[in-house]
Amino acid sequence: MTTTDDLVPLKVSGPQGLLAVVPTMLGFHPQESVVMLCLHGPRRRVGPVARVDLPPGRDRPLAEHLAEHARRYADEVVVVSYQSARRRPPFLDELLGRLAAAGVDVMDAIVVRDGRARPALNRAMERAHPGIPIPDADDPQVRAVTAAGALAGRTVLADRDELRRSIAGPGGDRLAVAERGIDAAAAGQLPDIPPADEIDDAARDPQAILVLPANLHALVEYSLASFTETGKLDPAIATALAVVVNDVAIRDAMIARAVVEMDRPWLPMLIAAAGWTPDDQAPQLCSVLAVVAYRHGDGALAQVAVDRCLAAEPHHRLAHLLLAIMAAGLHPDELATLSKAAEPATDSDPADGGG
């Protein structure tokens, strides 16, 4: 399941408006998926959006899990089944039944197939409706949602595979460059950067974050400032980040900052760093990326970052913790609350496997 709720507020209307929201909030165009939009408040603001793979048949535990998620976070929901088959999926009716049993109002249910959307609160309604076109890139509401997503640092990719590729490690000549950067940083040769006090750095409450050592604070500040200015990272900077974050205390301090500094480009900066990080060095950096993505409501990106982390280090504890958090449907805002309660790490074991 992926969840997200981090778009700039804007008004959409009707089924086409809701369908315009989904790809931007997920970060990709869903296929063979069930998407549940949680709406709350008198203005029906879109909150967490959950996506699961469309089961081939019934799946009561999954339906109950989604219904509980809706009960916690929604006043009402919209359920969308993205499917290629013409047959009405059994899971759709099962989910609608579990939502009703949980006392969750369903504002609408929609089946999307063959480029058209049909209301589908029940089988008869779906069969009788000719369908409406799915809004395309020229639709005014799609343009508005896309612009809001861009302001939040979010782009829409073609599918989940493209999302995975967006944080894949380097290959070819880029890999050779990255490996040289990794070797240099591992030998203690960090890039020459200006001291942190020469970089525009807003005043921060030192009690609210775990404190980085001065040289690494400067590295992080330079990385954020450089990305803000150029939209990319120098490979030496990216690989230095990948190396220093292997220290669990440094990793946790970066997470503690990133989940509260929501106005800074932590998420796109970490994506850029992941693109320069070889797979064997990726677990800790990708675990930070996963937490920050989830904090920004980008559950799909968080999931693929966890996948990349676990592919290199199957027993990575933070990655498994984040999987549990996502499965439990913890609201992204609660990560900031947990961060503020965190104590600085006193001991870290390099052989611990990524604590």
- 348, part of any domain: no
CA separation for the pair 121, 105 (Å, rounded): 12
Question: 230 and 299 share a domain?
Answer: yes
Region for 10 from its dihedrals, namely left if φ exceeds 0, alpha if ψ lies in -120 to 50, beta otherwise: beta
Asked if 344 and 18 touch (Cβ cutoff 8 Å), the reply is: no
The answer, yes or no, to whether residue 14 has pLDDT greater than 90, is no
CA separation for the pair 340, 116 (Å, rounded): 46
The DSSP annotation for 74-135 comes to -SEEEEEEE-SSSSPPHHHHHHHHHHHHTT-EEEEEEEEETTEEEE-SSHHHHHH---EEPP
Running DSSP on this structure, what letter comes out for residue 4? -
| Per-residue pLDDT tens over the stretch 287-345 | 999 999 888 878 788 889 999 999 999 999 999 999 888 877 777 777 776 655 444 44
Question: 195 and 242 share a domain?
Answer: yes
Residue 288 is part of which domain span? 166-340
Asked if 181 and 239 touch (Cβ cutoff 8 Å), the reply is: yes
Nearest-5° angle of CA 233, CA 237, CA 243? 125
CA distances in angstroms from 324 to 303, 309, 330, 335, listed in the order given: 11, 15, 9, 13
Average pLDDT over residues 221-245: 94
- Cβ within 8 Å of residue 103, ≥6 positions away: 71
Q: Tell me how many domains the chain contains.
A: 2
Question: 153 and 170 share a domain?
Answer: no
Asked if 269 and 231 touch (Cβ cutoff 8 Å), the reply is: no
Average pLDDT over residues 97-123: 94
Question: 136 and 119 share a domain?
Answer: yes
CA distances in angstroms from 343 to 1, 52, 258, 267, listed in the order given: 30, 35, 16, 23
Which pTM value belongs to this model? Answer: 0.67
| Per-residue pLDDT tens over the stretch 121-171 | 999 999 999 998 887 777 776 676 666 665 555 556 556 777 888 899 999
Last residue of a domain, one of 93, 126, 158: 158
- 74, part of any domain: yes
Question: 56 and 20 share a domain?
Answer: yes
CA separation for the pair 5, 51 (Å, rounded): 12
Question: 131 and 221 share a domain?
Answer: no
pLDDT attached to residue 284:
97
